[in-house]
């Protein structure tokens, strides 16, 4: 997914503080506002909001800190998240619905359903997830502006 | 059946989005885990939860839900109400606990998905 080098219309990076549940959702709110102002189709904004929300929550729940970058191109949106934190020992397991390593505190806030990564996959067109256990996680996903939800490869 | 209909039927208190009560309810979903609601709720659903923080409004907005009912008489946080007003999401309160409330909504004809 190295196709963002050209035609980047917009780029912004947001810092996310791990463990700060009181500010949870603020980054995805900002991303949503930017996409609205950019005139992105409503359906794309809805999918991007869900995927960004879940990505932001993963940093808050499982990392000490992270950065989320939004790229807008004429053809697609791309979001890249890099964090320092727990990392994921088994990505295949983490991608399965219902699997979660969330502790009590995370669950009290209503997170840790084991649906975050599956929700990101379901609402994006391309997704890459790599991680080094006890170091951090790299996530990037692409949502095409024109593509219909019925064409999603994962549905 | 609209949100206003269930507000009247169940004498729900309104804590936000009071101008958005005319939306038709397409069904219901009950869960306190946000990603579970993101995965399984449908547009126009009424959502029953005991979570009270502002992210419930974020979830309801993303999924275009008809409204949120807080069970067990729970009151939303102040910033949850503010966000609900901004986004136009009704936040309602029922003194009933989730099980009782869902049962009564079901009797009124609001159903959920039969399975995932």
Cα A54 from chain centre = 5
In terms of C-beta distances under 8 Å and separation of at least 24 residues, what long-range contacts does B102-110 make, across chains too? B102/B28, B102/B30, B102/B48, B104/B10, B105/B6, B105/B10, B105/B28, B105/B46, B105/B48, B106/B28, B108/B1, B108/B6, B108/B9, B109/B1, B110/B1, B110/B6, B110/B25, B110/B27, B110/B28, B110/B46
Low-confidence ranges of chain B (pLDDT < 70): 114-116
Q: Answer whether A56 touches B (CB < 8 Å).
A: no
Q: What is the CATH number of the domain that holds A99?
A: 3.30.565.10
Q: Answer whether A118 touches B (CB < 8 Å).
A: yes
Pair A60, A20: CB distance under 8 Å: yes
- Report the gap between the CA of B90 and the closest CA in chain A (Å): 19
Answer whether residue A155 is part of any domain: no
Q: Answer whether A62 touches B (CB < 8 Å).
A: no
Answer whether residue A88 is part of any domain: yes
* Residue in B39, B54, B58 closest to A53 by CB: B58
Q: Which domains does chain B have, with CATH numbers?
A: 3-107 (3.40.1390.20)
Instruction: Flag if B38 and A112 touch (Cβ within 8 Å).
Output: no
Residues on chain B bordering chain A, Cβ-to-Cβ distance under 8 angstroms: 31-36, 38-39, 49, 51, 53-56, 58-59, 61-64
Answer whether residue A152 is part of any domain: no
Quote the longest CA-to-CA distance of chain B: 35
Answer whether residue A50 is part of any domain: yes
Using the 8-state DSSP alphabet, how is residue A2 labeled?
-
pLDDT of residue A5: 59
Answer whether residue A4 is part of any domain: no
Answer whether residue A18 is part of any domain: yes
- Report the gap between the CA of A54 and the closest CA in chain B (Å): 8
Q: Which of A113, A118, A124 to mutate to test the interface with B (most CBs of B within 10 A)?
A: A113
Does the structure show a pLDDT above 90 at A131?
A: yes
Answer whether residue A154 is part of any domain: no
pLDDT of residue A155: 40
Q: Answer whether A120 touches B (CB < 8 Å).
A: no
Cα–Cα distance for residue pair A21/A112, rounded to 1 Å: 13
Answer whether residue A14 is part of any domain: yes
Instruction: Flag if A54 and B38 touch (Cβ within 8 Å).
Output: yes
Q: What is the ipTM of this complex?
A: 0.86
Does the structure show a pLDDT above 90 at A122?
A: yes
> pTM value?
0.89
pLDDT of residue A67: 98
Tally of domains within chain A: 1
Q: Is A7 exposed, middle or buried (0-12, 13-18, 19+ CB in 10 A)?
A: exposed
pLDDT per position as a tens digit, A8-59: 999 999 999 999 988 888 999 999 999 999 999 999 999 999 999 999 999 9
Mean pLDDT along residues A123-136: 96
pLDDT per position as a tens digit, A38-47: 999 999 999 9
Does the structure show a pLDDT above 60 at A151?
A: no
Q: What residues make up the domain containing A143?
A: 10-147
**Residues of chain A numbered 77-116 and touching chain B (CB < 8 Å):** 97, 107, 109-116
């Amino acid at each position: 997914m190295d196709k963002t080098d050209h035609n980047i219309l917009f780029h912004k990076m947001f810092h996310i503080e791990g463990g700060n549940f009181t500010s949870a959702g603020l980054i995805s709110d900002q991303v949503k506002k930017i996409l609205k102002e950019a005139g992105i189709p409503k359906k794309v904004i809805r999918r991007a909001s869900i995927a960004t929300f879940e990505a932001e929550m993963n940093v808050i729940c499982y990392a000490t800190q992270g950065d989320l970058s939004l790229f807008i191109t004429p053809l697609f949106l791309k979001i890249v998240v890099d964090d320092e934190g727990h990392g994921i020992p088994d990505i295949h397991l983490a991608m399965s619905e219902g699997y979660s390593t969330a502790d009590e505190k995370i669950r009290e806030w209503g997170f840790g359903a084991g649906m975050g990564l599956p929700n990101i996959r379901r609402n994006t067109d391309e997704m890459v997830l790599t991680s080094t256990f006890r170091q951090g996680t790299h996530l990037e996903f692409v949502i095409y502006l024109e593509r219909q939800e019925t064409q999603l490869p994962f549905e | 059946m609209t949100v206003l209909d269930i507000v009247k039927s169940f004498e729900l208190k309104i804590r936000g989005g009071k101008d958005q009560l005319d939306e038709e309810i397409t069904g219901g979903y009950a869960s306190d885990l946000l990603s579970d609601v993101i995965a399984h709720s449908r547009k126009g659903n009424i959502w029953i939860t005991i979570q009270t923080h502002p992210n419930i409004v974020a979830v309801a907005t993303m999924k275009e839900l008809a409204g949120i009912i807080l069970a067990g008489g729970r009151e939303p946080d102040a910033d949850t109400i503010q966000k609900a007003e901004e986004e136009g999401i009704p936040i309602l309160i029922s003194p009933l606990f989730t099980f009782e409330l869902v049962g009564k909504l079901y009797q009124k004809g609001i159903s959920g998905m039969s399975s995932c």
